[in-house]
Chain A
Amino acid sequence: MARDSDRRRSDWQSAALDRIAPDPRRRPDPATEGLARGLGWFSLGLGVAEIACGGAIARWLGMPRLAPVLRGYGLREIVTGAGILGTRDPTPWIWGRVGGDAVDIATVLPGLEQGNPRRGNALIALMALGSVTALDAVCARNLTQAPLRPSRRVRRDYGSRSGFPEPPEAMRGRAADFAAPLDFVGPQAMRPWTEADRPQAARR
């Protein structure tokens, strides 16, 4: 039998990957999975809003010079949202959101200074950011602690479940007595790649 994908990764490669990368086949509980998906959509929505209305948001915060920065953050949110929704393991992307939250908080924090006539709005924004950060952190932690798919070490051995009485190689073609109905496979002349079409030399 040809080599398979599991055998293609050498042991040292697997060990290195296990150490440095989150398992792409992590299995979080459905609630965490749902929360991660929700945060992904939230990221996309917030990103679009920040790009479309960066100027208005900056003015609302009383920090009009932040407009281009917020648009940049919007781009970051869209990339993060796409990463969360589009990859098998959203864990690094959710941790990315936690980091992004910290940057957002640091950006809005100066809005609390006495000179800002909209410091009330900045406070509201900071409270919202705090809530979202808490959600992100909970989600990231749950994802990180989620059980991994059974690895070779813990998964059940289905390697002997062939369903055949003999090795598969011996069973190959055992149903040669089966005549495929013509209404399913079409007449010979219409059938692609039939044995009769092959050049003699190419036949086994």
Chain B
Amino acid sequence: MRALVWHGTQDIRCDTVPDPQIEDDRDAIIRVTACAICGSDLHLYDHFIPAMKKGDIMGHEFMGEVVETGRGVNGALKKGERVVIPFTIICGECDQCKRGFFSVCERSNRNRSMAAKVFGHGTAGLFGYSHLTGGYPGGQAEYVRVPFADRTHIKVPDSLTDEQVLFLGDIFPTGWQAAVQADIQPHDTVAVWGAGPVGQMAVRSAILLGARQVICIDSVPERLDMARAGGAITIDNSVESPVERLNELTGGKGPEKCIDAVGMEAHSPRALEQVYDRVKQAMMLESDRASVLREMIYVCRPAGILSIPGVYGGLIDKVPMGAVMNKGLTIRTGQTHVNRWTDDLLRRIEDGQIDPSFVITHRAGLEQGPELYRTFRDKKDNCIKVVLRP
């Protein structure tokens, strides 16, 4: 089959690789009908996430049709059924899964000990996201093996198109969880850093959840246009200070809720801070750049909440913990517990409350994947979200 394969830093190719096989009774094989390039794939593309190996198949946002099931799937999935696959692989049986904390499933990461060395404990297995999260082949391919398939799926009705439901696997519940864990109240101002796909979903989720004012911060004009279309006030941080403008928009009090939809590869508009982080990163004294986090902590209203769906992979520096403590800020973060939200979100799509396909700007075949990784990374050609059809 054809698949997008990681060969090294900024080197992804469309290769022919062996077809996946059933390896465990709870496995299923899915024929992928649509997959997307996620912003967090770019952390792998730029090799900021460790434990990638040459030959790893990329992709964790995909959907398709069931073509084969293991004996242990026990009728939970049938051949021909249409499913979106959540990026977190879940066993559904461990303590964390039973509590709904699917992204920290205790059984699905087959390299749990490796993750434990880095994070203290293992986290869930993820598709196509390094050997730290299990080294499972991803879904930017014609076929994919889904472990624990009896639980790791979201069935979708034929009445909805692939593009309407594809993002249930990652960015839509990620933006939604970011807004939910911000505990949005009707009088809140919610500031969202990053107008990429997750930021766009967070803006719409905050609007649906009733925030009085949603503000989105980025520097890419077309992304700001899209955020405005979704109901956000926008701040272009290449021409004005987010801190000053956020204070202006909140009567000097700062936003009650702040969402970091940028993560580890943040670019600071402040030259000194950007140089500082770049130098520390180059000297391996920090792995992630934390300029958005610092700004959020600084501008957030005391007793406010910081919600962090943006991906961080390792160590950061100069986090103003004194401000976090003295302002009494609450930090909520984590990979998305996808299946916890998908029933509700699927209903909202069916009811017509939202159509997540608004974010798609580029459609192509798998062969154009490597080129579109570059286009997406460089934010060229007005690219915001790429959907590939294998």
Measured in the bound complex, the distance between the Cα atoms of B252 and A84 in whole Å is 34
* B16 in contact (CB, < 8 A): no
* A64 within 8 Å of B (CB atoms): no
A162 touches B353 (CB 8 A): no
- The residues of A that contact B354 with a CB separation of less than 8 Å are 163-164, 171
CB distance from B231 to the nearest CB of A (A): 3
Across the two chains, which residue of chain B brings its CB closest to A191? B183
Flag whether A30 is at the interface (Cβ < 8 A): yes
B355 contacts partner chain A, Cβ-Cβ < 8 Å: yes
Is B18 in contact with chain A by the CB < 8 A criterion? no
Number of A-B contacts (CB under 8 A): 185
Give 1 or 0 for each of B199-239: 1 = CB within 8 Å of chain A CB: 01000110111110000000111111110111101111011
Interface residue stretch chosen among B25-33, B47-55, B137-145, B267-275: B267-275
Contact A195 B186 (CB under 8 A): yes
- The chain A residues found within 8 Å of chain B, CB to CB, are 1-2, 4-6, 8-9, 24-25, 27, 30, 41, 82-83, 85-88, 149-152, 155-165, 168-169, 171-176, 178, 180-181, 183-186, 191-195, 198, 202-204
Residues of A within 8 A of B380 (CB): 27
Kindly list chain B residues whose C-beta atoms are within 8 Å of the C-beta of A161.
226, 229-230, 358-359
B-chain residues with CB within 8 Å of residue A173 when the two chains form the complex: 186, 208-210
Contact B379–A163 (Cβ < 8 Å): no
Main secondary structure of the interface of A (DSSP, over half): loop
A86-B271, A86-B278, A158-B229 known; 13 new pairs, CB 8 Å cut-off, are A4-B235, A4-B236, A155-B382, A158-B222, A158-B382, A160-B229, A162-B229, A162-B230, A171-B353, A171-B354, A181-B180, A191-B183, A192-B328
Residues of chain B having any CB pair with chain A under 8 Å: 10, 99-100, 180-181, 183, 185-188, 200, 204-205, 207-211, 219-226, 228-231, 233-236, 238-240, 245, 249, 256, 267, 269, 271-272, 274-275, 278-279, 282, 301, 303-305, 328, 330, 332, 340, 344, 348, 352-359, 361, 374, 378-380, 382, 384
